[in-house]
Structure 1
């Protein structure tokens, strides 16, 4: 891993970059990142956790030279509890299966009180048509 900054691996930029710092990346296998919740006095919108897992899954699934990618499907998303402003979250993404450019990603988001989301999604990583 050359950089801890997710922006080094993704085209996303604030306010649409939903990861703050990479902790681990094992290319083709898994990745872990941190997200500090700010600017959400009413609580963090849980659907944005899906995008966090998708962004991290794209980093985990990408191989040297890959550029681009899309969230192809949200297979399952379960949310547990409210995420408070100021909470620090750990996002994990594991590549469960790969078939060419398609990757099944299993994600989990944990916060101060335990698991706040479990998410399974499909990504297409590589050049877009």
Structure 2
């Protein structure tokens, strides 16, 4: 199952400049998700990180992975979120940055469910560019109910 940007916006509350998923390529509900993030020079972080050699900050790569986990968790647990319902990042383990990500790159974001215990989802995550690993991590998230 694929999701375009309009579909993605139905699952994530983020908007420019913080919506970091452009397309979902594959979803296996309850198991895994593959998404894309197109990295462009026009993104605001590149004006200061770094002006002479723009590099996507590692925390932005981790956030893109976290957004992918949120989509997978919603699709797996409640189908589609109601207004105000979000998944919150609650833990980051085993993060490794192996390569730089620069404007013009396309991040392939792969997330896989490891466990779900007492409402805490744990995911194995990997970001690649052109088949080369740039970031790996284990992320945890949980649902925050609508106010």
TM-score w.r.t. length of structure 1: 0.89
Hey, which of these two has a bigger chunk of strand by percent?
1
* Cα separation, 2, equivalents of 1:107 and 1:2: 19
Query: Which residue pairs with 1:56 in the alignment?
Result: 68
Query: Which residue pairs with 1:45 in the alignment?
Result: 57
Query: Which runs of 5 or more structure 2 residues have no equivalent in the other structure?
Result: 47-52
Q: Across the two proteins, how many residue pairs are aligned to each other?
A: 129
Query: Which residue pairs with 1:89 in the alignment?
Result: 107
Query: Which residue pairs with 1:33 in the alignment?
Result: 35
1:43-75, Cα deviation, whole Å (9 max, x unpaired): 111111111111001111122254312000111
- CA contact under 8 A between 2:106 and 2:130: conserved in structure 1? yes
Matches within 5 A, 1:1-129: 1=1, 3-5=3-5, 6-39=8-41, 40=46, 42-62=54-74, 63=77, 64-66=79-81, 67-112=85-130, 114-127=132-145
RMSD of aligned Cα (Å): 1.9
Aligned-residue offset at 1:126 = 4.5
Q: In the superposition, relative to structure 1, how do residues 120 and 128 fare at CA in structure 2: closer, same or farther (>3 Å)?
A: farther
- CA contact under 8 A between 1:69 and 1:128: conserved in structure 2? no
* Cα separation, 2, equivalents of 1:35 and 1:2: 14
User: Relative to structure 2, which stretch is displaced further, 49-58 or 2-11?
Assistant: 2-11
Query: Which runs of 5 or more structure 1 residues have no equivalent in the other structure?
Result: none
Hey, which of these two has a bigger chunk of helix by percent?
2
4+ residue stretches of structure 1 with deviation over 4 A?
Answer: none
Aligned-residue offset at 1:27 = 2.1
Query: Greater CA radius of gyration, 1 or 2?
Result: 2
User: Relative to structure 2, which stretch is displaced further, 6-15 or 33-42?
Assistant: 33-42
